[in-house]
């Protein structure tokens, strides 16, 4: 089982192959996932790299955290488990129709 790294401040021009090639310098890379906006498909500037060993994780953090890559200073640290979120933003705001309870004209 590999260890997952959070990688932030990634250039919008970077590809998963670019990140794989970079992190391979620290050890065996199992997977790379760059996060994109679900509506536009545009990159969001962060992603996750899964390394095959704890040694690779620590080496990648020391090698690449703060490193300039494609004119951006990378942020690299161990990924935290994803927090569970409620689906449907309207429930949090009380229905989404404004304070009058009806349609706005």
DSSP E strand boundaries for 9-57: 29-36, 43-51
Which helix (DSSP H) or strand (DSSP E) does residue 57 occupy?
Answer: helix 54-64
CATH class, domain 3-80, is alpha beta
User: Structure tokens of 99?
Assistant: 């304070």
With a threshold of 0.85, does the pTM exceed it?
A: no
Q: Where are the domains of the chain?
A: 3-80
At 72 the three-state DSSP class reads strand
Compute the distance between CA of residue 64 and CA of residue 1 in angstroms, rounded to an integer.
22
22-52 confidence digits (pLDDT tens): 999 999 999 999 999 999 999 999 999 999 9
At 85 the three-state DSSP class reads coil
Name the band, by pLDDT with cuts 50, 70 and 90, for residue 1. Answer: very low
């Amino acid at each position: 089982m590999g260890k997952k790294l959070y990688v932030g401040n990634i250039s919008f021009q970077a590809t998963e192959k670019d990140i794989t090639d970079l992190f391979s310098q620290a050890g065996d890379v199992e997977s790379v996932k760059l996060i994109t906006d679900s509506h536009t498909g545009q990159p969001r500037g962060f992603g996750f790299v899964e390394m095959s060993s704890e040694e690779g994780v620590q080496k990648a953090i020391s090698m690449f955290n703060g490193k300039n890559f494609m004119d951006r200073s990378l942020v690299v640290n161990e990924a935290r488990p994803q927090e569970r979120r409620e689906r449907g933003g309207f429930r949090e705001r009380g229905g989404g129709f404004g304070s009058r309870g009806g349609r706005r004209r």
